[in-house]
Amino acid sequence: AQSVTQPDIHITVSEGASLELRCNYSYGATPYLFWYVQSPGQGLQLLLKYFSGDTLVQGIKGFEAEFKRSQSSFNLRKPSVHWSDAAEYFCAVARYSGGGADGLTFGKGTHLIIQP
C-alpha cells in the first residue's frame, strides 16, 4: 500500500526566508504526487502536482516541488515566505486498488509558522 511521511510536524520560518517542507512516499511505480494547503477550519487547496515528465513542478502562490525518485521524495519549496503562507501543508499520493487509482493517501501534515 502507498504511504506518505512528512517528517516535520512543525516548522518555523522568518518572513522573507526560504522554505522547504519534506515529503517521502512509498510506492513501487511512478507515483502521482500532490501538495495541498489547509488554512484553519478550511478545506484543502491544491498547490501543485506531479504525474510525469519534468521533475521540477511549479504551482500556485510561488511554490515549487521537486520529485526525486532515488530518494522517494517530493519536497515543497518557496524562495521567500509571506505571513499569509502560515497554514497546514499536506503531501499526498494517489492510491491504487484493484480497479485503478481512487483516493489519495495523505501525510500527517506540517504546520508552518511564520515569524515576523
Partner 1 sequence: ETGVTQSPTHLIKTRGQQVTLRCSSQSGHNTVSWYQQALGQGPQFIFQYYREEENGRGNFPPRFSGLQFPNYSSELNVNALELDDSALYLCASSLAGQGSYEQYFGPGTRLTVT
- The contact pattern for partner 1, residues 33-72, with x = CB under 8 A and - = no contact, is -x-x----xxxxxx--x-x---------------------
Q: Does residue 99 touch partner 1 according to CB under 8 A?
A: yes
* By the rule CB under 8 A, 79 interacts with partner 1: no
Report the sign of the C-alpha dihedral through residues 50, 54, 60, 65, in that order.
Answer: positive
Give the nearest distance from C-beta 111 to partner 1 in angstroms.
Answer: 9
52 DSSP assignment: S
Q: Which residues contact 91 (CB under 8 A, 6 or more apart)?
A: 4, 6, 21, 23, 25, 33, 34, 35, 74, 76, 106, 107
Q: What is the CA radius of gyration of the chain?
A: 14
- Give min distance, CB of 116 to partner 1, in A: 25
Looking at residue 3, its amino acid is S
* Interface with partner 1, residue 30, by CB under 8 A: no
Residue 27 as a binder of partner 1 (CB under 8 A): the answer is no
Strand partners, 18: none
Contact footprint for partner 1 (CB under 8 A): 4, 32, 34, 36, 41-46, 49, 51, 90, 92, 94-95, 97, 99, 101-109
